[in-house]
Every structure is written in structure tokens, then in C-alpha cells.
Structure 1
């Protein structure tokens, strides 16, 4: 999750070293898993989804074990059902789990706020999106690599543009450190990297993928703000302490899950699924 701030000060950079070290360890591991695909990728998506479920229910549902079980089930359905039974079936099962979660929340005398209502979808749908995008062929592998590159570029460029340029705040009530400069930095960086990766991979639609990268940068930043609003509402600084310098899993993937949903929608609506994924075909 990129945090952007105003005038550059030495204190603003104190977390850069540990963030960089954590990323240097995690990024290669994730890319290798994406490259391997098959069961390894499904297991990674399932693991991340279950960890997201744990953090979400700790924050929103007061560590309810029954809510955790339902949210984790949504993650597992999203990770394993789409390729074996189709995304329609996975979506239907996640919808049933969502209804059960709402009924349980009512039985627990909880108010159906945005956060209570959105948890199952927030965890289950991105897991499904990742699996749809990865598929079982080279085009799916390239799609995921491209997505990671775009999101990481947006995150990094927002971080540095906000600290170097500063300026007006983007959403001060939600995330006081974010600036408009950070947003524009994210758009420029993601568009450039999206086009560069597409060109380097020999993809046909370099300009289109560059423009799409810029759009996904906006989506990534909105996903970041959504998770920031969650933490501000519940008065927590980080969703967890799993990743040094980054907080919890939700803190690290907030922008990625939002971008994955939009890219998966583009792939589905365009008819670029599986072997027909021409957008990332060569």
C-alpha cells in the first residue's frame, strides 16, 4: 500500500529500507509462483485469501471464528472453483456464502454496515479474478506478470512522487498522507511500465495496455483508499503485522485486489478467456 505525503523530510524515508527488504524477498517468490501456475498458484491465492479473511474478520467481526470460516470459505471457492467448475459456479457459491455471512451477522446482533456487508465479496471475488486471469496457458501467465508490474509501479511511483513533490491532499479525511501528486505519479508510472512490459513481452496492443495500466493505477489507488477507510473506521493503524514495513496482508494487496477485479472484468467482457486471451497473446 503506497502512502504519500507532503514536503519531503528525512523521517518520511525511515521505513523505506525495511519495505525494500520485504519486497526483495516477497516479489521473486510471488513471480516464481505465477510462472509455475497450476496447483502452486491456486495454493498461493488460497493462502493469501485465508490470511485476508483472518485480518478482515479480526477487524470487522471482533475475531468471530464462524465469520472467519465463512470468509475463508469464500477465498477457497474463489481459488479452486473457477477452472474446475467455471467462474459462474464460483460466483454462485460465493453469493451463497455472502448471504450466510449476513444472516450470521444479524444473528450476532451486528449492524449491516458497509464493512460487514462487503467482506465476503472483498475476499472471494479477487481470489476468483486471480485464477481467471492466470488460467493455464502462457497468456494467463503474462497477464498476471503484467498486472503485478503495473500495480507495483503505481505503488512505488505514488510513494516517491508524494514524498518528493508533495502538494494538495487527495483524500485527507481517509488517508492524510496521500496527495494528488502521488496519484498522478502512479498513473504515469503504471502507464509507462504497462506499455514497457507489453513491448518487452512482444504483446500486440502496447498502446492499449499502456492506457489500461494508467486506468488500473487509479483503481489501485482507490483500492488503497478503501482499505484506509476501513482502518480509520475501526481505529487500527495496520491490518496486521505479518510483513515488516508493510503491515498485514490487507495492507499489501489492497490496490492489487481492486485492480485484479477490473482487469478480470475486462478479460471476461472482451471474451479473452483461457486460450482465447488475445489481449495478452503473442
Structure 2
């Protein structure tokens, strides 16, 4: 359907996309500086934010599982494993509340990976990464995210004294891959529950699980790297 306004024509089918994109950008412009400021302030503000996020994600997870958790062994198993996954990731992040630079560093890598994957994948296209889980993701986007995440982490590392479990390059490669795996995990969960978003708390972005999916898996993998490096 084409709508004419003066000498311009606008496809009404594309308007919701641009409205959602505008809302996403506006929310990010407000939310990202606020989150960064709280992280920079450290404890007790960062602790409070972490507990609020944990409560919010737990609420979303309960809402997703309310119809399936108690009707089958599989449903109850998914409910428990998801709850354990979210809690474990947040416990890892809470242990770093005295190291705001580390959390900011991980966040920036996750954001750079996500942005790189989106723009490179959108521009180059190509073979699908995991069509049965997330049809929009491509291998070009995966490698674009890998390059952008590693580059951002490498540049920012020079500004912060961060203890690494292994070499810088090895750590960055694992973090960027984990970031994209975390995104795929959330996509698989949403396909299981047949929902577009995990919630609606963040305008234009969906729920907390939608926005923190990559960071959750990154936190677990980064902590696991430190544990394994001691053996």
C-alpha cells in the first residue's frame, strides 16, 4: 500500500519498522549512559542494579514458563535450567561489582560484537548461520561481529588494568564468540515459547532477557576461563 503526501510517497508497511528503530535508538541514548554511569560508580549502586536486573529477568522467565513449567517433566526441566543459567550469570557479574572497568569492558565488547554482526550481516548477507534458530543471522555477520568485538576489546584494554585468564587475543575471541552464542540461546528460547520478545519493559527493545542475553553467557564463559586457567 502506497500513501502519498505532497510529492513524496511512503510505504505504510515500512512505517512500523522506522517507528520501532526510532524508539530503539531513543531508548539506547537514554539508557546506555545511565547504565554506564551506575557501573562506573560501582558498589553499592552497581550491586543494586544487578539485583534489580536479576529480579526483572526472573519475573520474565516466570512469565514465559507459567503455562508449561508444571505440565511436563521437560517443561519443568527447562524452567529450572533457565533459572539456574540466569542466576549463575548474575552471580558471576556480582563478583565483579568492585571492578567496574571489567564489566564496562565486557559490555563494550558485547555491544561492538552485536553492532558489527548486524551491520556487516545486513550489508553482505550470504549463508545463514543458524536458520532453524535465527533466520536473520549470517556467517558474514558472525565474522563481522567477531572482528568488531575483538577490535573494540583490544583498544579499550589499553585503558584499563584488567586481569586476563589467558592471552588477550584468546580472551577476546572467546568473549566475542560467547556473545553471539548467548544471542542464539535467547533466540532458541523465544522460538520454544513462540514469542517475539521475552518482555516489554524496555521500549523498542523488548525485555531484559532480550537485551542481556549475550552478556549472561559471556559472564559465565569469562568466569569459567579463570577457573580453568588455574588447573
Q: TM-score, normalised by structure 1?
A: 0.69
Q: Which of 23, 26, 45 is residue 40 of structure 1 equivalent to?
A: 45
Is the contact made by 1:195 and 1:209 (CA closer than 8 Å) also made in structure 2? Answer: yes
Match status 1:26 vs 2:28: no
Aligned residues: 214
Q: Unpaired segments of 5 or more residues in structure 2?
A: 1-12
Structural mapping, 1:1-282, within 5 Å = 14=18, 15-62=20-67, 108-113=70-75, 115-134=78-97, 136=98, 140-201=99-160, 208-270=167-229
Could you tell which deviates more after superposition, 262-271 or 35-44?
A: 262-271
User: What displacement does 1:20 show?
Assistant: 2.1
User: What displacement does 1:177 show?
Assistant: 0.6
User: What displacement does 1:261 show?
Assistant: 0.9
**C-alpha separation between the residues in 2 aligned to 1:18 and 1:164?**
22
Is the contact made by 2:101 and 2:162 (CA closer than 8 Å) also made in structure 1? Answer: no
User: What displacement does 1:208 show?
Assistant: 3.2
User: What displacement does 1:110 show?
Assistant: 2.9
More strand by share: 2
Is the contact made by 2:61 and 2:83 (CA closer than 8 Å) also made in structure 1? Answer: no
**C-alpha separation between the residues in 2 aligned to 1:154 and 1:250?**
17
User: What displacement does 1:202 show?
Assistant: 6.0
User: What displacement does 1:268 show?
Assistant: 4.1
Q: Unpaired segments of 5 or more residues in structure 1?
A: 1-9, 64-104, 272-282
Give the alignment's Cα RMSD to 1 decimal: 2.4
User: What displacement does 1:13 show?
Assistant: 6.9
**C-alpha separation between the residues in 2 aligned to 1:204 and 1:223?**
23
User: What displacement does 1:22 show?
Assistant: 1.5
Q: 1:67 aligns to what?
A: none
Q: TM-score, normalised by structure 2?
A: 0.84
Is the contact made by 1:132 and 1:264 (CA closer than 8 Å) also made in structure 2? Answer: no
